[in-house]
Structure 1
């Protein structure tokens, strides 16, 4: 790992998109991306090339994301009083939440590879090439896995393979 600035230039976008797919917050994704590269510099001597650099960086990013979640859960926010923000009706909120929950349940029921690809593609906006890089697979593998996962979701989770 001689030239970290070149590595940053080459992989920062992939790491950022991976984190954005996890947290859905651009500011947090940017902050965690910077922290990822800081941690990568600190531990560069432990990288021995057993996987692609992008995979190694996304593993660091994933661990930082999980660390952030644990910290956030320990620091539960206190409700702010006096804020007059118009809220959706209870019915609207329940219908929207139920629709999102149904979709997430369906995605969660997919096999692990398909689930990961669908999350990265649909929620993270990563290209198939970036997904392949992050997961240590090919772009074609990512495309096929996404297509098969999407078909399972369309068919209600049934396995229509012959």
Structure 2
């Protein structure tokens, strides 16, 4: 949906009138937010990307040529920011996995150097994602209650229970597969 005087508002915003850009921002906010929400499936990420989109739009408004709709230009900015965000997440995930693999390798070496054995349980436990490993560790090694773990991790008690269940299920599944 285009504003009737959108071209005029864009020109005014290019000339430095912040009120004109504010009007453009308000008009396109909901549309872009819904687009980013469908893209990311995460309200927090959508909000962050939306703010970045409008900041980039504001900073680079002079480069808008008017060959497409203003909303199309904003969507292209939002899409590029989303794709960059995904690449960054993927890199961070790989970096975290590399760190975890190195840590597990060092732990195995330390345990074997002390004459102990790296058990199947430790191996299966080390493969759990941190969000599953942490509540399982707190519950079954340190003996915390579900409600105490919820407070420690700042999540709901039901979430703790489901993560402990899921973590134990994955460990059991690995044992069964071996």
| TM-score normalised over the length of structure 2 | 0.47
Q: Which has the larger radius of gyration?
A: 2
Alpha-carbon displacement from aligned partner over 1:63-98 (angstroms, at most 9, x marks no partner): 0000001101100055323323132968xxxxxxxx
Distance in 2, Cα, partners of 1:25 & 1:82: 23
Matched, 1:33 2:112: no
Distance in 2, Cα, partners of 1:72 & 1:46: 29
CA RMSD of aligned residues (A): 1.8
Q: Which sections of structure 2, spanning at least 5 residues, go unmatched?
A: 1-9, 14-19, 98-128, 137-162, 171-178
Structure 1 match to 2:80: 63
Matched, 1:83 2:135: yes
Q: Which sections of structure 1, spanning at least 5 residues, go unmatched?
A: 91-162
Matched, 1:43 2:60: yes
Q: Secondary structure at the match of 2:66?
A: coil
Distance in 1, Cα, partners of 2:47 & 2:134: 31
Distance in 1, Cα, partners of 2:72 & 2:166: 41
Structure with more contact order per residue of length (Cα contacts < 8 Å, sep ≥ 6): 1
**Alignment coverage as a number of residue pairs:** 90
Structure 2 match to 1:8: 25
- How far has the Cα of 1:48 moved from its partner? 1.4
- Higher helix proportion (structure 1 or 2): 2
Q: Which residues of 2 match residues 62-141 of structure 1 at below 5 A?
A: 62-76=79-93, 77=96, 79-80=129-130, 81-84=133-136, 85=163, 86-87=165-166
Distance in 1, Cα, partners of 2:88 & 2:47: 18
